[in-house]
């Protein structure tokens, strides 16, 4: 790959996280190429800052050195790579695809094989953090890649990530990301049930926070979760119930493939499944606290 400052980099998936990541790639001297996926707003802002817009993944792949994907999950990644006007249709040997989505490891491993057969490479680099971190360039990246591919990808990933962990070969990034999200979403389920129990026995969310928020169990995820609970800031943690439920389904599939008994994972998944089934899939993860409270006849506010 060319020197970072001279690379031509494509970006598909300019949502809450993707726009900030793409903006950092552009700000760090890369030639940025974008395309609309769901909405045009981010595309127009990036084009105004100097990015080039294309109409398809095939067109993007025809002249880019690397393409970042930051979409919902494996079906979307597969369609972008293998679809009739996808990356395969226009890609050339040497192109690197860096998938920052949270995807199924089995799909990632399959795609890596078919990409390699065409002389291209696939790196999985799912991310950790918030939209504010994406804008600031301080995200975490969990990278699955060969040593050679990691060396090529790292300078580009460093444009938007402050912490980069090379966790193993291709596919390992997505495996680690699912484990990470199991932990964080498990926290969300625990916090929600604990808050509801507190309400039932006379412990307010403020009292709960005055104890937990100053103890050893406090963490970054807790802070954004409780910013919604205490301050009712709906944008404190912009990660939807639908995405959380999707990630927990992927985790269940990974556990099944590994023949692991995963009862806690199932319990956490079912909390998110219930909220999604109740028509609240597009609400954000901290709002699980309201759903669990209301199911138990109490309210956080």
pLDDT-based confidence at 5, cuts 50/70/90? Answer: very low
- Residue 144 burial by CB count (10 A; 0-12/13-18/19+): exposed, middle or buried? buried
pLDDT tens digits, one per residue of 142-163: 999 999 999 999 999 999 999 9
Residue 224 has pLDDT above 90, yes or no: yes
Domains and CATH numbers, the chain: 4-168 (3.40.50.720), 175-295 (1.10.1040.10)
- The strand pairing partners of 278, in sequence order, are none
Give dist(CA 3, CA 214) in Å, integer.
45
pTM to 2 decimals?
0.93
Residue that is written with structure tokens 């002389």 in the block? 119
Is there a contact between 145 and 169 (Cβ–Cβ < 8 Å)?
Answer: yes
pLDDT tens digits, one per residue of 100-132: 999 999 999 999 999 999 999 999 999 999 899
Closest CA to 159 of 2, 288, 5, 278: 5
Closest CA to 265 of 251, 277, 244, 284: 251
State residue 39's pLDDT score: 75
- Give the DSSP per-residue string, 165-190: EEEESTTHHHHHHHHHHHHHHHHHHH
Catalytically annotated residues: 177
pLDDT tens digits, one per residue of 267-281: 999 999 999 999 999
Give dist(CA 300, CA 229) in Å, integer.
7
């Amino acid at each position: 790959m060319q020197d970072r400052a001279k690379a031509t980099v494509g970006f598909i998936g300019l949502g809450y996280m993707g726009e900030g990541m793409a903006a950092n790639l552009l700000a760090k001297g890369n030639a940025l190429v974008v395309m609309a996926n769901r909405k045009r707003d981010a595309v127009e802002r990036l084009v105004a800052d100097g990015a080039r817009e294309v109409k398809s993944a095939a067109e993007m792949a025809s002249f880019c050195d690397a393409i970042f994907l930051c979409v919902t999950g494996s079906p979307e990644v597969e369609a972008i790579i293998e679809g009739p006007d996808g990356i395969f249709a226009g890609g050339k040997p040497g192109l690197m695809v860096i998938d920052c989505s949270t995807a199924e490891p089995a799909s990632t491993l399959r795609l890596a094989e078919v990409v390699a057969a065409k002389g291209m490479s696939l790196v999985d680099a799912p991310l950790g953090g918030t939209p504010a971190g994406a804008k600031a360039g301080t995200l975490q990246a969990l990278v699955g890649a060969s040593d050679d591919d990691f060396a090529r990808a790292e300078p580009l990933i460093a444009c938007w990530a402050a912490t980069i962990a090379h966790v193993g070969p291709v596919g390992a990034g997505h495996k680690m990301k699912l484990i990470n999200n199991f932990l964080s979403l498990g926290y969300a389920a625990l916090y929600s049930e604990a808050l509801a129990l507190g309400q039932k026995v006379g412990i307010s969310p403020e009292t709960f926070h005055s104890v937990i928020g100053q103890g050893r169990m406090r963490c970054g995820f807790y802070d954004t979760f409780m910013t919604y609970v205490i301050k009712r800031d709906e944008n404190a943690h912009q990660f939807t119930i639908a995405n959380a439920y999707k990630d927990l389904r992927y985790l269940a599939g990974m556990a099944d493939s590994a023949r692991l008994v995963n009862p806690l994972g199932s319990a956490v998944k079912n909390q998110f499944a219930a909220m999604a089934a109740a028509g609240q899939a597009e609400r954000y993860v901290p709002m699980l606290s309201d759903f669990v409270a209301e199911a138990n006849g109490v309210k956080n506010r």
